[in-house]
Structure 1
């Protein structure tokens, strides 16, 4: 049976490819999309989620807008963290996309998450957040029992070496560290698919040629996304090929062997002057605390891109 996921996003070019992968893979049932402020303000990320869902044919699932602001900290967006926005003014600059073919679900994202999880069977849903974790913690507060009912949380965020928004912190975690701290500390399985893993998932020229060779309107859009995102990523981060961060979390759900993990104790720093938002990851048991979560370490590059390319063909 396909694995049911709720995809919580802040599109973002890599979020867009995560939506495409979830929609185009037969082993995934995309049960809902929820949006959160992150790469851009909520109105833009929600609109982007609707446009991408329309592009890939995910028009019959609920899409709900969520949190406009972090729990406690001042709001930051992609363009405020780096010297110029990696994703552009709209949050998803580049090729023209269709207008949304669906209305928004009237519920808040947290309400939609709770309603689906609580109406489902035990361990029926996996949460896949690829932006700040505000919606997830709001759902936990609205209905604490979801922690016991969700199969697992596979999130894109964090790092066990160094960040990208600060030397210590990755953007999704830094955007709402207090929410992230609560999600990692809850008694459910959290897999951190962080920068250490996602920086292995780069779109090389050979990969772009494989996508271009598909020769469909959607494959052309993906190539244009990679071109726009890649040029900005190179100018800001000095990486010649763009990493497709968020799709790695979806790939982990589809086939765990594509994204290898290690057990670890993971906590989010919320007090440090220089380390605010750091995902402190202990693989050795130095703190004497239980290995409560999983940290992604190694990507099967070829298998990952095979999943993406097959999904593009499926939705084209």
Structure 2
């Protein structure tokens, strides 16, 4: 089976750390490039965290740092959820894998896309770099299989009243992505709230060697959901959408991003009732089977101990 070529834009972040492991150890995916970006914490931290993770995972996709700030607004962060460094709670070994600083993430995306027949872009942080790539290299769009993102919300937000963090971090970039005309798949906030990892699952993951212990320790510090009542898994959903789409209920619909500087700035309007009377521009997951997700999650992370 030919593995799917993937570029990952990420802002680790505890749940990003897990999503990166799921992607790197997947039998279906071939991660060609990882581009850390500002988001949960600053670019300085997300770059360092990516280098530490790859060193621990003993995987060597190319790493090229992305944007340190959004297109227009000031940067926000989620250190209240992920800790000051983004991955508090585990003493990582010193990194031996480092980011390539000879070019930008967008240039690296362009190079990878042109080396492959088709590439999937995965955005599990702010969409700044993906938007810049689409803007600067429109000739590459035919070689993009799809864009898969974790972001947006069906209803209320987790950053603003109606805005989810990843889209709120750079609403203009999110709008560019959804206006690109490319196939887009979305895992919104509410589906992450359904995909809970319970304490007994976390205990099982702990048995998966050094990487399992790392994930366990990070989960003890993760502040989305609770360790006792279940931790919400968001970014892992983007990987699951690619490799196990049958676990989701998916709706083809219109997604619009609010970019007016108003109380709803950064909100995603996922038009499930077709109020806007506009053609669909995305496939949006509206539900996930939590049992199937848990089984896939555990089986996938078990590969890290092989």
Deviation track 1:239-277 (CA, whole Å, cap 9, x = no partner) reads 942211101101111121123310110010011511110
Once the two structures are TM-superposed, the CA of residue 30 in structure 1 deviates from its matched residue by: 1.2
Q: TM-score, normalised by structure 2?
A: 0.94
Once the two structures are TM-superposed, the CA of residue 282 in structure 1 deviates from its matched residue by: 0.9
Matches within 5 A, 1:84-103: 85-103=80-98
Instruction: Give the secondary-structure state (helix, strand or coil) at the position aligned to 2:91.
Output: coil
* Other-structure match for 2:150: 156
Q: TM-score, normalised by structure 1?
A: 0.91
2:5/2:116 contact within 8 Å kept: no
Query: How many residues are matched?
Result: 303
User: Runs of 5+ in structure 2 lacking a partner?
Assistant: none
1:21/1:307 contact within 8 Å kept: no
Matches within 5 A, 1:31-50: 31-50=32-51
Once the two structures are TM-superposed, the CA of residue 147 in structure 1 deviates from its matched residue by: 2.5
Q: Distance in 2 between matches of 1:241 and 1:140?
A: 37
* Other-structure match for 1:117: 113
Instruction: Give the secondary-structure state (helix, strand or coil) at the position aligned to 1:145.
Output: helix
* Other-structure match for 1:57: 58
* Other-structure match for 1:175: 169
Deviation track 1:279-312 (CA, whole Å, cap 9, x = no partner) reads 1011222222101111111112233222322232
Supply the RMSD in Å over aligned alpha carbons.
Answer: 1.7
Deviation track 1:146-192 (CA, whole Å, cap 9, x = no partner) reads 22220000101111111100110000111100000110111101111
1:191/1:294 contact within 8 Å kept: yes
Matches within 5 A, 1:194-273: 194-212=188-206, 214-229=207-222, 232-234=223-225, 240-271=229-260, 273=262
Q: Distance in 1 between matches of 2:93 and 2:67?
A: 25
Instruction: Give the secondary-structure state (helix, strand or coil) at the position aligned to 2:231.
Output: coil
Whether 2:27 is the aligned partner of 1:26: answer yes
Once the two structures are TM-superposed, the CA of residue 50 in structure 1 deviates from its matched residue by: 1.2
Q: Distance in 1 between matches of 2:17 and 2:225?
A: 19
Give structure 1 regions of 4+ aligned residues with deviation exceeding 3 angstroms: none
2:124/2:150 contact within 8 Å kept: yes
Whether 2:160 is the aligned partner of 1:166: answer yes
Instruction: Give the secondary-structure state (helix, strand or coil) at the position aligned to 1:39.
Output: coil
Q: Distance in 2 between matches of 1:36 and 1:189?
A: 23
2:248/2:287 contact within 8 Å kept: yes
Once the two structures are TM-superposed, the CA of residue 219 in structure 1 deviates from its matched residue by: 1.1
Q: Distance in 2 between matches of 1:311 and 1:282?
A: 33
1:285/1:291 contact within 8 Å kept: no
Instruction: Give the secondary-structure state (helix, strand or coil) at the position aligned to 2:224.
Output: helix
Instruction: Give the secondary-structure state (helix, strand or coil) at the position aligned to 1:165.
Output: coil
